[in-house]
Amino acid sequence: MLAPARTKVLTTAPANALTNALTIDVEDYFQVSAMAPYIRRDEWEHRECRVEGNIARILELLAGHDTHATFFTLGWIAERYPKLVRNIVDAGHELASHGYGHERASDLTQTAFRSDIDRAKKLLEDIAGAEVKGYRAPSFSIGTKNLWAFDELARAGHRYSSSIYPIRHDHYGMPDSPRFAYRVGTGLLEIPVTTLRMGRRNLPSSGGGYFRLLPYALSRWMIRRVNEVDRESAIFYFHPWEIDAGQPRVAGIDAKTRFRHYVNIHRMENRLASLLADFRWGRMDDIFLDNASAHPVTAGRTAV
């Protein structure tokens, strides 16, 4: 039986618009850090894993909009679903690392962090047959107390990180760090998740639960403002489970976690389709490594 023809959707972005980076953190619903108090790691193998189907839907969505993206992928997922990894690479997307077991970098010793990133990078590269240049820490968990993580990433052969979210948040955040790409002491490029500067505060404007919670028009305005006022490419992120309204509901979680995890999941895929049509999107490596001259970076670890 022949597959239905795929309809290409033309972007409505102006011809001279900046290209933004579209990123997907490849993990499943039961691996989210906020679920850790309710789901033990030794339960992961027994949970219904839905990441394959969700990634297939995302790949179809991206193909329909002629868009390439960067997939920060857990080694744990890649090890169990190698075809998923090859499908990502075969479709022209960038494969990057999200570590092996979704352990927060801030919870690991330097030795344990080294083992985690080395294991994930080797596994991903062996499966894909492609270099893994990028890394994103689970839950944006590199901060002032573990800046040694940058040295370890450079040692492991990563060329860039996207592990800092310059906001205040109860689970993560480094609000005084630079808002845009900068070099750390090792020469590694850190590419923070995008924020909008309003007064003295950085506001989240680049995906995840905020994108599901806020009206789409507001999210679109914030990204457009970063493009037009700051003249910088935005970094947007989401997770495969965020398009999955049929995922199993986790029992016994607190009200805050329940709200953050499930709010507007049923609207997410349509919002993503609008986002893909309204802006130009591409891979992290294409935008920030292969076109470095178009994106000047600052030096140092703490300058705003």
Tens digit of each residue's pLDDT (9 = 90 or more) over 55-89: 999 999 999 999 999 999 999 999 999 999 999 99
Percentage of the residues of the chain whose pLDDT score is greater than 70: 89
Higher pLDDT, 211 or 16: 211
Range 280-300 average pLDDT: 75
Tens of pLDDT along 186-203? 889 999 999 888 777 877
pLDDT of amino acid 208: 82
- Over the chain, what is the mean pLDDT? 89
Phi, psi torsion values for 191, nearest 5 degrees:
-120, 95
The CATH code for residues 19-298 is 3.20.20.370
In terms of pLDDT, which residue wins out, 208 or 116?
116
pLDDT digits (tens, 9 = 90+) for 4-28: 445 676 677 776 789 999 999 999 9
The first and second tokens of residue 163, run together, are 């592990």
What is the tens place of the pLDDT at every residue in 39-60? Answer: 999 999 999 999 999 999 999 9
| Share above pLDDT 90 across residues of the chain, in percent, rounded to a whole number | 75
pLDDT reported for residue 170: 53
Q: Is a pLDDT exceeding 90 seen at residue 173?
A: no
How far is it, in rounded angstroms, from Cα 153 to Cα 133? 10
Write the DSSP assignment of the chain as a string of letters.
Answer: -PPPPPPP----S-TTPPEEEEEEEE--GGG-GGGTTTS-GGGGGGSPP-HHHHHHHHHHHHHHTT---EEEE-HHHHHH-HHHHHHHHHTTPEEEE--SS---GGGS-HHHHHHHHHHHHHHHHHHHSS---EE--GGG---TT-THHHHHHHHHT--EE-----S--SS---TTS-SS-EE-TTSPEE-PPPEEEETTEEEE-SBHHHHHHS-HHHHHHHHHHIIIII----EEEE-GGGG-TTSPPPTT--HHHHHHHHTTHHHHHHHHHHHHHHSEEE-HIIIIITTGGGS--EESSS--
10 Å CB burial of residue 243 (0-12, 13-18, 19+) is buried
Q: What distance in Å separates the CA atoms of residue 34 and residue 169, rounded to the nearest whole number?
A: 13
